[in-house]
């Protein structure tokens, strides 16, 4: 990556960042490319809490997906929920 070349992802889009890092290592970026990039971290005070019960198979799949993306499973669940709420798909009757 050349100096001053833009990042290969939109740093304001959590899903895009997670997807990129799911397929790359941070060493794929030159230091100059990430200098000045700010990560938006929310305080727990800014978030609502939700408790859900899911079957063990879904929990295992969630944890595997989170590992692939390099995030914690609660972060992955939040990202999936956010994506679905942003662009809902019709629910099937099955």
pTM above 0.85, yes or no: no
Residue carrying the six token digits 């995030």: 71
Q: Are residues 75 and 91 in the same domain?
A: yes
Q: Are residues 29 and 5 in the same domain?
A: yes
pLDDT of 35 reads 57
Range of the domain at 12: 1-41
Structure tokens at 5: 């070349």
pLDDT of 2 reads 41
pLDDT of 1 reads 39
Residue 77 buriedness (CB in 10 A; 0-12 / 13-18 / 19+) = buried
Please give the tally of structural domains in the chain. 2
Q: What is the residue-level pLDDT of the chain in tens, covering all 94 positions?
A: 344 456 677 767 778 877 777 777 666 665 555 555 555 666 777 788 889 999 999 999 999 988 888 888 988 888 888 888 888 888 876 5
């Amino acid at each position: 990556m050349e100096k001053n070349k833009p990042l290969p992802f939109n740093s304001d889009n959590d899903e895009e960042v997670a997807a990129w890092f799911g397929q790359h290592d941070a060493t794929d970026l030159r230091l100059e490319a990430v200098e000045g990039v700010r990560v938006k971290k929310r305080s727990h005070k800014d978030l609502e809490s939700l408790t859900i019960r899911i079957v063990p198979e879904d929990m295992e799949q969630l944890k595997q997906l989170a590992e692939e993306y390099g995030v914690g499973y609660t972060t992955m669940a939040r990202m999936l929920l956010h994506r679905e709420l942003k662009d809902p798909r019709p629910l099937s009757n099955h």
